[in-house]
Amino acid sequence: MTAVESDSGVLAGEQRMLIDGELVGAAGGAVFDVEHPASEEVAGQCADGTVEDMARAVSAARRAFDAGEWSRDVQFRFHCLMQLHDALDRHKEHLRRVLVTEVGCPVTVTGSQIEDPISEVKHWAEYGRDFDYLVDTGLHNTALGPARRKLHHEPVGVVGAITPWNVPFYLNIAETVPALMAGNTVVLKPAQLTPWSGSELGRIVAEETDIPAGVFNVVTSNANEVGAALSADPGVDMITFTGSTATGRAILAAGASTVKKTLLELGGKSAHIVLDDADFNSSLPLAAMMACVMSGQSCILPSRILLPRSRYDEGLAVLKASMENFPMGDPWTPGNMQGPQISATQRQKVLGLIESGLASGARLVTGGGVPESLPVGYYVQPTLLADVDPDSTIAQEEIFGPVLTVTPYDGDDEAIAIANNTIYGLSGEVSSADVDRAFAVATRMRTGNVTINGKSHFGIDSPFGGTKQSGLGYRNGTQGYQEYLHIKTIGMPE
């Protein structure tokens, strides 16, 4: 629960971008509308940045990296990021209202989207302050006699951070704060649908921290070409991106000509293998909740449920009951756990995929459309589809809606084969009464991360990365910090 009490707390966010230390409008002054998905009303505007604005931001970040002290002064970075942490903490109720306004996520479930990322700012500040940037690996034999080698961990340079709309404040922090603490300078390009979680961060950095001009920039825009300009700019050394696999491919291609380091966290189509000895009454209600709680707009959601044929009907009944009773509605009303989809386009995409599932022979167990009681706002009923063909579109494409597909299997080997039958490899889940058996299955899933019996793999202190077409590199953990560092090996006399 949170402190927001009003029935509707709609609040417009900061309109201006942060470029080279100044809060500014777009070159030419254009703005674009930001919608509240629960009311379908325009809540306010944000600067519609241009490719010229992006070029200015990149050159400011370049100058701040090449000529400033930021990359060399870890104590100063610690000081600045602790200031940022304290300022975000002071403004968290404001940030929460702006977040719910632009995303439409229920206020009840914003702890992981506001409190958690704010505490992660402190985590990275302390982690970076204590990090061992110089490691002496001792003497190494060479043809010319022994050489001492030291590993000097240095920031990569200018980092372009491109973020999506599903958990925007969290991802803005997750993509930029470890990069900043490691000594990089940053240009953040938030998603079109959720620019304010980025522009608010820019305003707070400008007004309430000593972060020097150019070190952190935010360019909002309604045009994909502005993100594309960032990912192609020769002044950028690294791109960190969270979003769709299609956009990830475009970003990789755009960075190829200047060989940019690229950290990608992309789409998923994760499977939940429910073994035949699992306690359905604990694992399946949780699976239903995970599908609904962010309206299914989560890349790590295990959206494909694999049930043993011997207990198929029993499993479907538990899932159906859990989805039909899910508290959905106005995101400002405490207690509601599912809000609308973020936009009309996204809702249409979800409904279209449900239709395609039915056309390919899936059986509708519950949901499937727009709830009659919620005609305004982009709501979709929690939806359960059974008998889903593992090769069908609904089993292969990321839905990003409150939809679970269920496929029966015979034996653990078949379950694993179905789970692995996807181009994605982000996450997954196994449920079983026998943890060793579940662990053995988890190790055979070709995916980046696995949860067993609801015990989450995801956290700031553990590496998180996708395999196959779900990503490159890691966030979180030691590996997540080191992504923003280059290791320079220095050979020297004894």
User: From the list 88, 121, 238, 251, which residue makes contact with ligand ADP (rule: CB under 6 A)?
Assistant: 251
Q: Kindly state the DSSP code that residue 455 receives in the 8-state scheme.
A: B
3-state class (DSSP) for residue 29:
coil
14, 175, 265, 429: the active-site residue: 265
In angstroms, give the least distance from the CB of 243 to ligand ADP: 3
Q: Which stretch in 77-85, 113-121, 162-170, 424-432 sits in contact with ligand ADP by CB under 6 A? A: 162-170
φ/ψ (deg, to 5) at 347: -60, -40
Tell me if 224 contacts ligand ADP by CB under 6 A.
Answer: yes
Q: Is there a catalytic annotation at residue 299?
A: yes
Tell me if 294 contacts ligand ADP by CB under 6 A.
Answer: no
**DSSP per-residue letters across 267-311:** ---EEEEE-TTS-HHHHHHHHHHHHHHTTT--TT-EEEEEEEGGG
Could you tell me where the DSSP H helices lie in 390-434? 393-396, 412-419
Contact criterion met (CB below 8 Å) for 72 and 83: no
User: From the list 128, 164, 302, 329, which residue makes contact with ligand ADP (rule: CB under 6 A)?
Assistant: 164
Q: Is there a catalytic annotation at residue 105?
A: no
In angstroms, give the least distance from the CB of 247 to ligand ADP: 4
Q: Which stretch in 246-254, 302-310, 318-326, 471-479 sits in contact with ligand ADP by CB under 6 A? A: 246-254
- Give the separation between CA 248 and CA 242, rounded to whole angstroms: 8
User: From the list 243, 315, 339, 390, which residue makes contact with ligand ADP (rule: CB under 6 A)?
Assistant: 243
In angstroms, give the least distance from the CB of 230 to ligand ADP: 7
Type of residue at 42:
V
| Interface with ligand ADP in residues 184-203 (CB under 6 A) | 189, 191-192
Nearer to ligand ADP, 209 or 298 (CB): 298
In angstroms, give the least distance from the CB of 316 to ligand ADP: 30
Could you tell me where the DSSP H helices lie in 28-185? 51-67, 74-90, 92-103, 115-130, 168-181
Nearer to ligand ADP, 230 or 328 (CB): 230
Tell me if 250 contacts ligand ADP by CB under 6 A.
Answer: yes
200, 299, 398, 429: the active-site residue: 299
Residues 6 or more apart in contact with residue 140 via CB below 8 angstroms: 146, 147, 148, 149, 491
Q: Which stretch in 22-30, 51-59, 117-125, 241-249 sits in contact with ligand ADP by CB under 6 A? A: 241-249
- CB-neighbour burial class of residue 245 (10 A; exposed 0-12, middle 13-18, buried 19+): buried
Tell me if 231 contacts ligand ADP by CB under 6 A.
Answer: yes
Tell me if 244 contacts ligand ADP by CB under 6 A.
Answer: yes
Type of residue at 157:
G
Nearer to ligand ADP, 161 or 206 (CB): 161
3-state class (DSSP) for residue 103:
helix
- Give the separation between CA 188 and CA 320, rounded to whole angstroms: 41
Nearer to ligand ADP, 191 or 273 (CB): 191
Nearer to ligand ADP, 70 or 241 (CB): 241
User: From the list 162, 274, 292, 438, which residue makes contact with ligand ADP (rule: CB under 6 A)?
Assistant: 162
In angstroms, give the least distance from the CB of 251 to ligand ADP: 5
Contact criterion met (CB below 8 Å) for 190 and 198: yes
Q: Kindly state the DSSP code that residue 21 receives in the 8-state scheme.
A: T
Residues 6 or more apart in contact with residue 86 via CB below 8 angstroms: none
Q: Which residues pair with 272 in a beta bridge?
A: 305, 429
Tokens of 127: 């982690």
User: From the list 228, 394, 426, 445, which residue makes contact with ligand ADP (rule: CB under 6 A)?
Assistant: 228
Contact criterion met (CB below 8 Å) for 49 and 235: no
Interacting residue ranges for ligand ADP, rule: CB under 6 A = 162-164, 189, 191-192, 224, 227-228, 231, 243-244, 247, 250-251
What residues are annotated to the active site?
A: 265, 299
